[in-house]
């Protein structure tokens, strides 16, 4: 079965638990709006792809799907909260109204909260090997929380002194490194060997995002552009210039591919990562062709 369909199925199962006739209906709608139709599902695809590259059997792949879904739910939660008026005040996300624009600020705060809880509930109910639940939950929590995870990354925006690498590693790379390591754990491989790939890919995604934010097109991205400059946020383009950011991205792509450990599906995974990273810059390419 196609990887994207497998991931969608696990996310649907998670949301159906939250969406019950005797629960508050607007919250369930807001949670669904935050998760579907969704973006490229990069993190769960990465998690499952790493597990399969490590030779995961059906049972191990199912664990990687669950871990990937939990990671995606945390990613969706962070988008909902990052879009809030007190942060980016973004009117749109993935081409649709942001959650707080569609449902109001209270339900946007609560939808993010519900998604964080749902991520951990998904792990607890879906990881059918008890010995793997503690390491996977601890890994996901570390990548999501404070002091080095997603929430900490967002919190660096509230500090006057920020090191760009520290900020981006927490805000973006943390969930990518979590995805590769979770895939390895699910398949019984050594997660430490897979961390570098996640770190590199996460940084590459952040740099590509900065390039798209700087030269891309809001309609194509489905969210506002020029936000880094407008909000005074650290950005690879602001720091290195546009050409410098492109050079940095090329180096990160090479480092990502070079970091893939020896495993049964290494060449397939390499091809997939190269294709994915080309796709990433499509908004910037389209904008440069239109200019």
For the bound state, the minimum distance from the C-beta of residue 35 to its own copies, rounded and expressed in Å, comes to 12
Does position 227 interact with its own copies (CB under 8 A)? The reply is no
**Contacting its own copies within 5-34 (CB under 8 A):** 18-20, 22-28, 31
Task: Give the span between the Cα atoms of 212 and 237, in whole angstroms.
Answer: 10
For the bound state, the minimum distance from the C-beta of residue 191 to its own copies, rounded and expressed in Å, comes to 15
Q: Select the span of 53-61, 112-120, 201-209, 255-263 touching its own copies (CB under 8 A).
A: 112-120
For the bound state, the minimum distance from the C-beta of residue 151 to its own copies, rounded and expressed in Å, comes to 5
Task: Give the span between the Cα atoms of 106 and 78, in whole angstroms.
Answer: 15
Residue 161: C-alpha distances to residues 155, 158, 174, 185 (Å): 12, 9, 20, 35
DSSP character string of the chain: --HHHHHHHHHHHHHHHH--TTS-HHHHHHHHHHHSS-S--HHHHHHHHHHHHTT--HHHHHHHHHHHHHHHHHHHHHHHHHTSTTTT--SEETTEE-HHHHH-HHHHHHHHHHHHHHHHHHHHHH---HHHHHHHHHHHHHHHSTTTSHHHHHHHTT-SS--HHHHHIIIIIHHHHHHHHHHHHHTTS-GGGGHHHHHHHHHHHHHHHHHHHHHS-HHHHTS-SSHHHHTT---HHHHHHHHHHHHHHHHHHHHHHHHPPS-TTHHHHHHHHHHHHHHHTHHHHHHHHH-
For the bound state, the minimum distance from the C-beta of residue 188 to its own copies, rounded and expressed in Å, comes to 16
Does position 105 interact with its own copies (CB under 8 A)? The reply is yes
Q: Residues with Cβ < 8 Å from 251, sequence gap 6 or more?
A: none
Does position 281 interact with its own copies (CB under 8 A)? The reply is no
Does position 233 interact with its own copies (CB under 8 A)? The reply is no
For the bound state, the minimum distance from the C-beta of residue 80 to its own copies, rounded and expressed in Å, comes to 10
Q: Which is nearer to its own copies, 19 or 228 (CB)?
A: 19
For the bound state, the minimum distance from the C-beta of residue 126 to its own copies, rounded and expressed in Å, comes to 10
Does position 225 interact with its own copies (CB under 8 A)? The reply is no
Does position 35 interact with its own copies (CB under 8 A)? The reply is no
Task: Give the span between the Cα atoms of 216 and 225, in whole angstroms.
Answer: 7
Single residue of 61, 67, 90, 152 touching its own copies by CB under 8 A = 152
Q: Which is nearer to its own copies, 40 or 163 (CB)?
A: 163
Task: Give the span between the Cα atoms of 151 and 146, in whole angstroms.
Answer: 6
For the bound state, the minimum distance from the C-beta of residue 214 to its own copies, rounded and expressed in Å, comes to 23
Q: Which is nearer to its own copies, 92 or 154 (CB)?
A: 154
Number of shown-chain residues binding its own copies (CB under 8 A): 57
Does position 288 interact with its own copies (CB under 8 A)? The reply is no
Single residue of 102, 155, 266, 282 touching its own copies by CB under 8 A = 155
Single residue of 40, 96, 124, 231 touching its own copies by CB under 8 A = 124
Interacting residue ranges for its own copies, rule: CB under 8 A: 18-20, 22-28, 31, 77, 81, 84, 86-87, 104-107, 109-110, 112-114, 116-118, 120-121, 123-125, 127, 130-131, 133-134, 137-138, 141-142, 144-149, 151-152, 154-159, 166
């Amino acid at each position: 079965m196609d990887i994207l369909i497998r991931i969608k199925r696990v996310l649907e199962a998670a949301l159906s638990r939250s969406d019950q006739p005797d629960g508050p209906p607007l919250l369930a709608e807001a949670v669904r709006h935050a998760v579907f139709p969704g973006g490229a599902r990069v993190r769960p695809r990465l998690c499952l792809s790493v597990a399969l590259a490590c030779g995961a059997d059906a049972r191990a792949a199912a664990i990687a799907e669950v871990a990937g879904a939990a990671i995606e739910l945390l990613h969706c939660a962070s988008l909902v909260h990052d879009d809030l008026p007190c942060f980016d005040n973004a009117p749109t996300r993935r081409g649709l109204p942001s959650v707080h624009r569609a449902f109001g600020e209270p339900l946007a705060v609560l939808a993010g909260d519900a998604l964080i809880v749902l991520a951990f509930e998904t792990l607890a109910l879906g990881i059918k090997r008890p010995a793997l639940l503690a390491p996977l939950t601890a890994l996901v929590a570390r990548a999501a929380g404070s002091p080095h995870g997603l929430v900490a990354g967002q919190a660096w925006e509230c500090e006057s002194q920020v090191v760009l690498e520290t900020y981006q590693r927490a805000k973006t790379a943390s969930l990518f490194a979590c995805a590769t390591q979770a895939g390895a754990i699910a398949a019984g491989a050594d997660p430490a060997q897979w961390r570098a790939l996640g770190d590199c890919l996460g940084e590459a995604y952040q740099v590509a995002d900065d390039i798209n934010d700087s030269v891309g097109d809001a309609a194509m991205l489905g969210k506002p552009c020029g936000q880094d400059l407008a909000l005074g946020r650290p950005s690879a383009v602001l720091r290195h210039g546009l050409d410098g950011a492109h050079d940095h991205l090329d180096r990160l792509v090479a480092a990502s591919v070079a970091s893939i450990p020896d495993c049964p599906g290494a060449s397939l995974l390499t091809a997939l990562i190269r294709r994915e990273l080309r796709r990433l810059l499509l908004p910037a390419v389209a904008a440069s062709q239109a200019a």
